[in-house]
Structure formats: structure tokens, C-alpha cells
């Protein structure tokens, strides 16, 4: 009885750089190689729109056919061309679903490098082989050391690496490497593969040629045309886990920060260390066995698993604040507040008796107070913001108590 099987390759498998080696290793098991018409159409569409990955895919198909012919294995294109609606729904898994249906109909073994496709096929009872193409080290990880803050990769440019500290950052350029469009797309592909194979990684944004992902201790942003003029990738390393003690805060002020009734506003310029200080507060209260929750636009805090990190639900901080209340939190941190809805979320927390901390971009204390006054009634500010911490170059620059003087109907800041 012939034990050979038809092997059906999806897009990710065709683009796998060692696919010929995979075929050679399984030569005794393969009776026929099937390429779904859906896959060929998808690659033609990408090639016609100038995407390098489509041209690369067609080249890979040519190499697979040549290699299979040399091994006396037939390669057949099977299926139908996808409809316009199916192509439009491809990012939502429509083409993947059609490929699985075809594998089932043909009684073929589905070959994929996509972990989600593999698990989905398994669940449907379809015989599937997952080729794990994860690398021990992704391209950009070769630039990471203990001082790396960010890595910038852009089509037509040399890689730029920011190293050092917030107070003393330095830029380094890899003059030996020039990044082409094809290389950037290859790096993006390996990043997405790594994300799909890492259960702790996830997508923050994935739409309109903008992809933002959380991977290990980094935030990776990937931009493509037409959103960006050129293909580019930015990798931002999340801050390490400093303690409040490292900020050399006086004991009396620390006790005030620890007071459960003291709400806190952390402000400063961009990249001044605000989120890192908020992170230190979260860690401090976690060590004190308090229930800590964060509400973060970009999930940039590097926190232990026992601290729940929420995103802005449907882009709305107010909804996330309600979920935080339902989770019986002791302290909640919003990173960051920027508009009336965000401030409403912050006030909802403080009004409910939760110790709340919020992060606000402001060039100076005056701008911070102006923003507070814009979204909160001045006479209410001192009831929802007890302390303002101003950050500068990664350090606690100044700390203020906030008081409302009824006789003068004004807010006063008392530096401590």
C-alpha cells in the first residue's frame, strides 16, 4: 500500500527559505505537491502592486517547481481564483480558510510556517505539518545590548541604534549595512512569524499598513506604504524595573506617595522617564501586596505577571477604567491621559476611592496645570490630584502638593 501523501503548501511555506531542503527531507513521503490557486493569485496581486514579497513568492514557486521536477515529483496548481471579496478578507483569515478546505477536499497534508494556521488545521482534523522557521536571534536582536534603548531600520538607510540612558543617549550607525526594501520586508516577515509563535506576544495595532506589536520586552512598530513613504521598523526597548528607592525620594514624601488616598499626576516632556517612574510605583505597591492594574495605550510598562495590564478598550480609557473597578483594584495607573475622556477615566477612579496615578505629557508645570484646568474644574483638581511629580531626564526633578485656596478661588502648588 502506497504511504505517500499529497503535500499542499500555503503562502508561508512557499516563502520559507529552506523549502527545497524540506522537500528533500520528505521526498519518500510526497506523491504530489499542490499549490492552491488562492496562493498563486495572492502572490500575483502583491507582485502587480509592486510589493517585493509577491515577486519573491513567484520566484520561490519557480524554484520549487524546478527542484520538484528534478526529483520527479509533480507540482499542480489546484482550486479557483479567489473573489475580490475573499481577497479583501484575506487579512481576516478568509484565504487561510479556503486553503484548509482545499487540503481537506484533496486529502492532502497541509504544510505551513504559520502557527495559527497549523493550530486551526489541527482543530479541524486536517493533517498538517508546521515548519518552525523561528531563528535563535531575529535580525534586529543583533544590535541589542544592555544599553540599547531603540533601533531604527528604514528602507534605503543604515540601521541606527540609540544606546545609553534618558539623560545621556547616543546614536550609533551601522555603516556596513544598507537596508533595501526587500530586506525590510524580510525582517518584518520574521518578526510576524516570531509573534505568532510566541504565546506571550500580541498585536497592539494591525491595520492600514501600520503594525505595532509587543514582543518580549519591546514594542515594535512597522510602517508600510502608503502610510509611510518608505518601509520602516522601530524597536523600542521597555524600561528595566527600577524601584522607588532608586529615585532617592525623601522618606516623608515617599510616605505621602504611599498614602492610599493620595492621587498622583506624573508629568514631563516626552522621553523624560514618566512611564518608568509610573512603573516603579506599580512595582512598589505590588510588593506591598496591593492589587495593581494599569491602563496603557501602548503597554510599555515592564511588569510582572501578577499586575494586570489593560489597553484602552476600543481606544477609550473610560471603558477600561470601568473594568478596572470591576476587578477590585487597590491602585490604577493610566498611561497616558491626553483628552477629556482620559481625564474622565482618571476622575472615575479617584471618585470610586481607588488610588489613581496618571501620566501626562507636559513641557513644564505650567503646561501641566493648564491641561488639568482645561479638562477638570479648577476647584476639583486638588481633590483628584494630590501630588504632581515632574520628571526630567529620567530623574524626579520636582514634587508639588496641590491645594485649592477657596478664599482666593485659585490653585496653589507647594513644592516639597
pLDDT digits 0-9 by tens, 92-110: 677 888 899 999 999 999 9
Name the residue among 329, 386, 387, 334 with its Cα closest to residue 354.
Answer: 329
Q: What is the pLDDT of residue 282?
A: 96
Rounded to an integer, the average pLDDT of 139-156 is: 94
Cβ within 8 Å of residue 109, ≥6 positions away: 5, 6, 7, 8, 103, 127, 128, 129
Contact between residue 198 and residue 215 where contact means Cβ atoms under 8 Å apart: yes
**How does pLDDT run across 194-232, given as a tens digit for each residue?**
887 777 888 888 887 889 999 988 999 999 988 899 999
Q: Which residue has the higher pLDDT, 314 or 408?
A: 314
**Banded model confidence at residue 88, pLDDT cuts 50, 70, 90:** low
C-beta of residue 343 within 8 angstroms of C-beta of residue 316: no
Give the relative orientation of helices 340-351 and 317-326 as an angle to the nearest 10 degrees: 20
Inform me whether the pLDDT recorded for 193 exceeds 80: no
- The confidence score (pLDDT) of residue 89 equals 63
The arithmetic mean of pLDDT across residues 293-310, rounded, is: 91
- 65 or 52: whose pLDDT is higher? 65
Residues 228, 265 contacting (CB under 8 angstroms): no
pLDDT of residue 2: 59
Query: What confidence score (pLDDT) does residue 10 get?
Result: 92
- The answer to whether residues 369 and 346 touch, using CB atoms and an 8 Å cutoff, is no
Percent of the chain with pLDDT over 70: 95
pLDDT-derived band of residue 275, with 50, 70 and 90 as boundaries?
A: very high
**Residue 26: is its pLDDT beyond 70?**
yes
Instruction: Please tell me the predicted confidence (pLDDT) of residue 1.
Output: 44
Q: Which domains does the chain have, with CATH numbers?
A: 5-130 (3.40.50.1010), 139-237 (3.30.450.90), 244-415 (3.40.50.300)
Q: What is the pLDDT of residues 112-143, one digit of tens each?
A: 988 889 999 999 999 999 987 666 678 999 99
Percent of the chain whose predicted confidence (pLDDT) is above 90: 55
Indicate if the pLDDT at residue 160 is higher than 70.
yes
Mean pLDDT of the chain: 89
In angstroms, rounded to a whole number, what is the distance separating the alpha carbons of residues 361 and 365? 10
pLDDT for the residue 345: 94
Q: Please confirm whether the linkage preceding 144 is cis (ω < 30° from 0).
A: no
Amino acid at each position: 500500500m502506497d504511504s505517500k501523501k499529497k503535500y499542499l503548501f500555503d503562502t508561508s511555506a512557499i516563502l520559507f527559505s529552506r523549502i527545497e531542503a524540506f522537500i528533500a527531507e520528505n521526498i519518500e513521503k510526497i506523491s504530489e505537491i499542490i499549490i492552491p490557486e488562492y496562493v498563486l493569485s495572492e502572490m500575483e496581486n502583491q507582485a502587480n502592486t509592486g510589493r517585493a514579497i509577491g515577486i519573491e513568492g513567484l520566484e520561490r514557486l519557480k524554484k520549487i517547481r524546478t527542484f520538484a521536477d528534478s526529483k520527479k515529483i509533480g507540482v499542480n496548481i489546484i482550486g479557483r481564483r479567489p473573489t475580490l471579496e475573499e481577497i479583501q478578507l484575506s487579512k481576516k483569515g478568509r484565504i487561510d480558510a479556503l486553503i484548509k478546505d482545499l487540503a481537506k477536499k484533496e486529502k492532502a497534508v497541509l504544510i505551513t510556517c504559520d502557527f495559527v494556521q497549523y493550530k486551526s488545521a489541527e482543530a479541524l482534523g486536517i493533517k498538517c505539518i508546521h515548519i518552525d522557521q523561528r531563528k535563535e536571534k531575529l535580525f534586529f536582536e543583533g544590535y541589542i545590548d544592555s544599553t540599547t534603548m531603540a533601533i531604527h531600520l528604514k528602507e534605503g538607510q543604515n540601521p541606527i541604534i540609540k544606546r545609553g540612558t534618558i539623560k545621556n543617549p547616543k546614536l550609533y550607525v551601522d555603516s556596513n549595512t544598507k537596508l533595501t526594501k526587500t530586506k525590510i520586508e524580510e525582517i518584518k516577515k520574521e518578526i510576524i512569524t516570531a509573534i505568532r509563535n510566541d504565546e506571550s506576544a500580541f498585536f497592539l495595532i494591525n491595520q492600514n499598513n501600520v503594525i505595532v506589536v509587543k514582543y518580549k520586552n519591546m514594542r515594535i512598530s512597522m510602517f508600510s506604504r502608503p502610510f509611510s513613504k518608505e518601509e520602516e521598523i522601530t524597536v523600542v526597548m521597555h524600561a528595566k524595573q527600577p524601584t522607588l528607592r532608586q529615585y532617592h525620594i525623601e522618606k516623608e514624601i515617599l510616605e505621602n506617595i504611599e498614602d492610599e488616598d493620595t492621587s498622583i499626576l506624573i508629568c514631563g516632556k516626552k522621553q523624560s522617564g514618566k512611564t518608568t517612574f509610573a512603573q516603579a510605583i506599580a512595582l512598589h505597591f505590588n510588593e506591598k501586596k496591593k492589587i495593581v492594574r494599569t491602563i496603557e495605550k501602548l503597554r510599555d510598562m515592564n511588569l510582572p505577571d501578577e499586575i494586570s495590564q489593560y489597553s484602552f478598550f476600543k481606544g477609550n480609557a473610560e471603558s477600561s477604567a470601568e473594568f478596572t473597578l470591576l476587578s477590585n483594584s487597590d491602585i490604577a495607573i493610566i498611561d497616558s491621559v491626553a483628552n477629556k475622556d482620559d481625564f474622565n477615566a482618571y476622575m472615575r477612579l479617584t471618585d470610586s476611592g481607588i488610588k489613581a496615578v496618571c501620566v501626562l505629557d507636559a513641557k513644564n508645570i505650567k503646561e501641566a496645570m493648564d491641561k488639568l484646568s482645561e479638562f477638570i474644574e479648577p476647584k476639583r483638581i486638588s481633590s483628584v490630584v494630590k501630588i504632581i511629580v515632574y520628571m526630567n531626564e529620567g530623574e524626579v526633578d520636582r514634587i508639588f502638593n496641590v491645594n485649592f485656596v477657596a478664599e482666593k478661588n485659585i490653585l496653589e502648588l507647594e513644592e516639597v
